[in-house]
Chains A and B, each alone.
Chain A
Amino acid sequence: MPTKNMIEAINDAHRVTMAADPDIVVFGEDVGYFGGVFRATAGLQQEFGKTRCFDAPISEGGIIGAAVGMAAYGLKPVVEIQFADYIYPGYDQIVSEVARMRYRTAGEWTMPMVIRSPYGGGIFGGQTHSQSPEALFTHVAGLKVVIPSTPLDAKGLLIAAIEDPDPVLFFEPKRIYNGPFDGHHDRPVTPWARHPDSEVPDGHYTVPLGKARIVRPGNDLTVIAYGTMVHVALAAVEENGIDAEVIDLRTLVPLDIATIEESVKKTGRALVVQEATKTSGFGSELATLIQERCFYHLEAPVARVTGWDTPYPHAYEWIYFPGPIRMRQALEKVMAE
């Protein structure tokens, strides 16, 4: 089977869906001729033509707003916001328009679109190339939020997102575009080719939205993560010799609550992990749901590993990023209770 990194898998998902459905259009800043600053749309304009894949003005509100109009016409826009940190000028269109269109028109108009955006830190991206704004979207009724952690999932989830009748925010952890990252920034980067989930089938397949994946079965603790933090959490669990069950959410909304509930009721302990700032982050929602639904099975308070409640700093990258040390401390604490 061919090996792909996450960029190549995302590129392939575009190619497969665009070939099958002439209503899919792809646009965003530098997305057309150049193929995207991360190469996610490389070759699409050459293959499908300028009216299917094109460059957009630097206007996130305009990109999302135009996509709304296109979806209203009957197209399926797949747009890129160059960095999740720059999605805010489009936030009004996403929250007030995209998310609510089906509801406010009682299904007369729907918004089958995907908004792709690289997100997350660990790359010395500083304040505006590292943010994890997923909670700003999980809080909005009407949006689905998807975050892959492997090339295999990235392609299957993106195809599922493009084919989904609802609008999907598809956040791509750019730290792991080229290879998985376990948080040990002082070690050489490993390419995806050495990871089993880089074996990406050709052609069409989907990974269903709303379904989590148990990355590592275990009995003593449930660790819930998504994006880059799946790899950081998995490594920390192995390095600390804990028989933890590691769950990759893959979709934040709608959430696979059944998998979480079943796991926590089995292990009796839960640690939720996110790169994003702590207060009101998605981890808070996870912790609350676990407390509401698994209270009598819990042997310890639900713990959180998150970024600090500060803007994402440049020079303090490895103090800010929730890496192996913060993970180890949290694992020890939750196991000791």
Chain B
Amino acid sequence: MSEPASPTLRNAPRLALHVPEPTYRPGDTPDFSKVVVPAAGSAPRPDSSAPSADSHPLVNHLVRVLDEDGRAVGPWDPRLSPDILRKMLADMVTVRVFDDRMYRAQRQGKTSFYMKCTGEEAIAVAAATALDRDDMCFPTYRQQGLLVARGYPLVDMMCQIYSNAGDKLHGRQLPIMYSDKPHGFFSISGNLGTQYPQAVGWAMASAIKGDSRIAMGWIGEGATAEGDFHSALTFAAVYQAPVILAVVNNQWAISSFSGIAGAEQSTFAARAVGYGIAGLRVDGNDALAVYAAVQWASERARANAGPSLIEFFTYRAEGHSTSDDPTGYRPAGEAQQWPLGDPVERLKAHLVGLGEWDDERHAALVADADKAVRAAQKQAEAQGILPQQGFDRIGSMFEDVYSDTPWHLAEQRDAALGEARIFLGRDVA
């Protein structure tokens, strides 16, 4: 019997496990000068129907349109009309104001939970602007901008957050897990990554039926570690599905920095290369670059030229959710140091530079958005806030588990109604 090999007896170094650590922790002064930010306009724009390999140099680049002075430069400039630019700006401002109001509503105890997308508004809003209205989006919980940009009523979003009488999901879903088929916004799931292969399947179905609609799926950089990320890319590549797969790399998955998801050794866009999918890496705080990239990928999908993977490089400016305090794991001022700036300010500067916007109009826009959000909030709260909910529609709790109500659910519904009668001292439905 031979002795087991011991590393101390071999002429080899001791092995060492590498556990990635972010450069800065609470108390440190963040310095992002080492983050490589290529000049706006420097990324080439291959033909949208070119072989996927033609895009692969771009997975280590950064598609940027807006330069430091807010000018649109280079081949990716989508040359949008001032009206579209103003609409995007208005939607982004609305999203930010909405987030602030709902964050406050959670702090006031009107609902249980909320998640902001501060700093990432351009990614959903510009994508929605570039897509056709009937393209199906498979979002995560941080793409509320899709709903706003597509004109979904703010009051309906709030009713879902309050789980109140106006909530079309009947109080069954955690706040912000919206669903709206008419606005092409697929039901959000709490389970990360699941919507990624679903987006591919939807796109496959569109191709099977000879439709012209495409699908777009979203995932955060943290959730790219899920197996569903891999299966989605495999299926998208195998069947050349007409799908756009977006990775929103906001640097943070709750408290874990992007290195824990695999960012240290390569970009997330670079994952596309191994699957043979077209890949782009895009400045996520540049609304024009986001628009241009999604437009490019949608042209590609619609031409049966195959799927695309787009990494949107951005920064999660606020906490993960109302249940999270980011000062526990990262420096407080990190967002301000982020080299790609603020998407709202950058789009504003662009419009001002075009002579199509000014500080006065911007102030009026913010005031209007605030007014609209407050009015929607009033209307939503008239239909109830969370602490008042839960007893008036108990019967609904047992519906839609199946298309009909099997005997065991009927029995349990009756039992629950009996409990409620005792609890409330009156009958409920």
Chain A interface (Cβ within 8 Å of chain B)?
25, 51-52, 56-57, 59, 61-62, 65-70, 72-75, 89, 92-93, 96-97, 100-110, 141-142, 144, 164-166, 210, 253-255, 257
Q: How far is the CB of A114 from chain B (nearest CB, A)?
A: 15
Taken together as a complex, chains A and B put the C-alpha atoms of A96 and B234 apart, in Å, by 21
Further contacts, 6 of them, CB under 8 A, given A65-B200, A105-B181: A61-B231, A103-B172, A105-B179, A105-B187, A108-B181, A144-B402
Can you list 17 pairs linking A and B with CB atoms under 8 Å apart? A51-B207, A62-B231, A65-B194, A65-B200, A65-B235, A66-B198, A68-B197, A69-B203, A70-B201, A73-B209, A75-B205, A92-B191, A108-B168, A142-B401, A164-B403, A254-B407, A254-B408
Task: Please determine whether B231 and A25 come into contact, CB atoms closer than 8 angstroms.
Answer: no
Q: Identify the closest chain B residue to A59 (Cβ).
A: B231
* CB of B157 closer than 8 Å to a CB of A: no
Taken together as a complex, chains A and B put the C-alpha atoms of A57 and B403 apart, in Å, by 31
Question: Looking at the complex, which one of A57, A75, A92, A142 makes contact with B235 (CB distance below 8 Å)?
Answer: A57
* CB of B15 closer than 8 Å to a CB of A: no
Taken together as a complex, chains A and B put the C-alpha atoms of A56 and B403 apart, in Å, by 29
* CB of B223 closer than 8 Å to a CB of A: no
Task: Please determine whether B228 and A65 come into contact, CB atoms closer than 8 angstroms.
Answer: yes
Q: Identify the closest chain A residue to B237 (Cβ).
A: A57
Q: Identify the closest chain A residue to B241 (Cβ).
A: A66
Q: Identify the closest chain B residue to A58 (Cβ).
A: B234
Task: Please determine whether B238 and A57 come into contact, CB atoms closer than 8 angstroms.
Answer: yes
Which residues of chain B have C-beta atoms less than 8 A from A106's C-beta?
A: 168-170, 172, 400
Task: Please determine whether B202 and A72 come into contact, CB atoms closer than 8 angstroms.
Answer: yes
Taken together as a complex, chains A and B put the C-alpha atoms of A100 and B400 apart, in Å, by 9
Task: Please determine whether B234 and A59 come into contact, CB atoms closer than 8 angstroms.
Answer: yes
Which residues of chain A have C-beta atoms less than 8 A from B406's C-beta?
A: 210, 253-254
Task: Please determine whether A92 and B194 come into contact, CB atoms closer than 8 angstroms.
Answer: yes
Interface residues in B207-234 (C-beta closer than 8 Å to A)? 207-209, 215, 227-228, 230-232, 234
Task: Please determine whether A97 and B191 come into contact, CB atoms closer than 8 angstroms.
Answer: yes
Q: Identify the closest chain A residue to B177 (Cβ).
A: A104
Task: Please determine whether A105 and B201 come into contact, CB atoms closer than 8 angstroms.
Answer: no
Digit string of B385-421 for contact with A (CB within 8 Å is 1, else 0)? 0000000000000001111001110000000000000
* CB of B206 closer than 8 Å to a CB of A: yes
Which residues of chain B have C-beta atoms less than 8 A from A142's C-beta?
A: 401-402
Task: Please determine whether B191 and A62 come into contact, CB atoms closer than 8 angstroms.
Answer: no
Q: How far is the CB of B137 from chain A (nearest CB, A)?
A: 11
Task: Please determine whether B179 and A89 come into contact, CB atoms closer than 8 angstroms.
Answer: no
Known: A25-B208, A210-B406, A257-B407. A97 touches B194 (CB 8 A): yes
Which residues of chain B have C-beta atoms less than 8 A from A57's C-beta?
A: 231, 234-235, 238
- Please report the total number of B residues contacting A with Cβ < 8 Å: 47
Taken together as a complex, chains A and B put the C-alpha atoms of A140 and B207 apart, in Å, by 32
Q: Identify the closest chain A residue to B169 (Cβ).
A: A106
Of the listed residues B177, B201, B400, the one surrounded by the most CB atoms of chain A closer than 10 A to its CB is B201
* CB of B189 closer than 8 Å to a CB of A: yes
Task: Please determine whether A104 and B189 come into contact, CB atoms closer than 8 angstroms.
Answer: yes
Task: Please determine whether A69 and B187 come into contact, CB atoms closer than 8 angstroms.
Answer: no
Q: Identify the closest chain A residue to B215 (Cβ).
A: A69
Task: Please determine whether A65 and B205 come into contact, CB atoms closer than 8 angstroms.
Answer: no
Taken together as a complex, chains A and B put the C-alpha atoms of A254 and B203 apart, in Å, by 33
Known: A102-B403, A104-B172. A69 touches B408 (CB 8 A): no
Q: Identify the closest chain A residue to B188 (Cβ).
A: A104
Which residues of chain B have C-beta atoms less than 8 A from A104's C-beta?
A: 169, 172-173, 177, 179, 187, 189
Q: Identify the closest chain B residue to A255 (Cβ).
A: B408
Q: Identify the closest chain A residue to B182 (Cβ).
A: A108
Taken together as a complex, chains A and B put the C-alpha atoms of A207 and B359 apart, in Å, by 70
- Number of A-B contacts defined by CB within 8 Å: 144
Known: A108-B187, A142-B402. A69 touches B198 (CB 8 A): yes
Taken together as a complex, chains A and B put the C-alpha atoms of A106 and B235 apart, in Å, by 29
Task: Please determine whether A102 and B400 come into contact, CB atoms closer than 8 angstroms.
Answer: yes
Of the listed residues A69, A102, A254, the one surrounded by the most CB atoms of chain B closer than 10 A to its CB is A69
Task: Please determine whether A97 and B198 come into contact, CB atoms closer than 8 angstroms.
Answer: yes
Q: How far is the CB of B200 from chain A (nearest CB, A)?
A: 6
Q: Identify the closest chain A residue to B186 (Cβ).
A: A72
Taken together as a complex, chains A and B put the C-alpha atoms of A96 and B403 apart, in Å, by 18
Task: Please determine whether B181 and A61 come into contact, CB atoms closer than 8 angstroms.
Answer: no
Known: A62-B231, A101-B187, A105-B187. A72 touches B198 (CB 8 A): yes
Q: Identify the closest chain B residue to A167 (Cβ).
A: B402
Question: Looking at the complex, which one of B168, B177, B204, B230 makes contact with A66 (CB distance below 8 Å)?
Answer: B204
Taken together as a complex, chains A and B put the C-alpha atoms of A255 and B407 apart, in Å, by 9
Q: Identify the closest chain B residue to A62 (Cβ).
A: B231
Q: How far is the CB of B280 from chain A (nearest CB, A)?
A: 22
Q: How far is the CB of A137 from chain B (nearest CB, A)?
A: 14
Which residues of chain A have C-beta atoms less than 8 A from B228's C-beta?
A: 61-62, 65, 92-93
Which residues of chain B have C-beta atoms less than 8 A from A144's C-beta?
A: 402
Taken together as a complex, chains A and B put the C-alpha atoms of A96 and B190 apart, in Å, by 8
Known: A69-B197, A255-B408. A108 touches B206 (CB 8 A): no
Which residues of chain B have C-beta atoms less than 8 A from A210's C-beta?
A: 406
Which residues of chain A have C-beta atoms less than 8 A from B179's C-beta?
A: 104-105, 108-109
Q: How far is the CB of B178 from chain A (nearest CB, A)?
A: 10
Task: Please determine whether B403 and A166 come into contact, CB atoms closer than 8 angstroms.
Answer: yes
Q: Identify the closest chain A residue to B190 (Cβ).
A: A96
Taken together as a complex, chains A and B put the C-alpha atoms of A26 and B169 apart, in Å, by 31
Which residues of chain A have C-beta atoms less than 8 A from B204's C-beta?
A: 66, 69-70
Taken together as a complex, chains A and B put the C-alpha atoms of A257 and B228 apart, in Å, by 38
Taken together as a complex, chains A and B put the C-alpha atoms of A156 and B227 apart, in Å, by 36
* CB of B136 closer than 8 Å to a CB of A: yes
Which residues of chain A have C-beta atoms less than 8 A from B189's C-beta?
A: 96-97, 100, 104
Of the listed residues A93, A105, A107, A253, the one surrounded by the most CB atoms of chain B closer than 10 A to its CB is A105
Q: Identify the closest chain A residue to B207 (Cβ).
A: A51
Question: Looking at the complex, which one of B172, B177, B201 makes contact with A69 (CB distance below 8 Å)?
Answer: B201
Task: Please determine whether A59 and B235 come into contact, CB atoms closer than 8 angstroms.
Answer: yes
Taken together as a complex, chains A and B put the C-alpha atoms of A255 and B409 apart, in Å, by 11
Taken together as a complex, chains A and B put the C-alpha atoms of A309 and B168 apart, in Å, by 45
Taken together as a complex, chains A and B put the C-alpha atoms of A51 and B408 apart, in Å, by 39
Task: Please determine whether A65 and B201 come into contact, CB atoms closer than 8 angstroms.
Answer: yes
* CB of B296 closer than 8 Å to a CB of A: no
Which residues of chain A have C-beta atoms less than 8 A from B194's C-beta?
A: 65, 68, 92-93, 96-97
Task: Please determine whether A68 and B227 come into contact, CB atoms closer than 8 angstroms.
Answer: no
Task: Please determine whether B199 and A69 come into contact, CB atoms closer than 8 angstroms.
Answer: yes
Task: Please determine whether B191 and A69 come into contact, CB atoms closer than 8 angstroms.
Answer: no
Q: How far is the CB of A32 from chain B (nearest CB, A)?
A: 12
Known: A69-B203, A69-B204. A109 touches B181 (CB 8 A): yes
Q: How far is the CB of B404 from chain A (nearest CB, A)?
A: 9
Q: How far is the CB of B133 from chain A (nearest CB, A)?
A: 16
Which residues of chain A have C-beta atoms less than 8 A from B172's C-beta?
A: 103-104, 106
* CB of B138 closer than 8 Å to a CB of A: yes
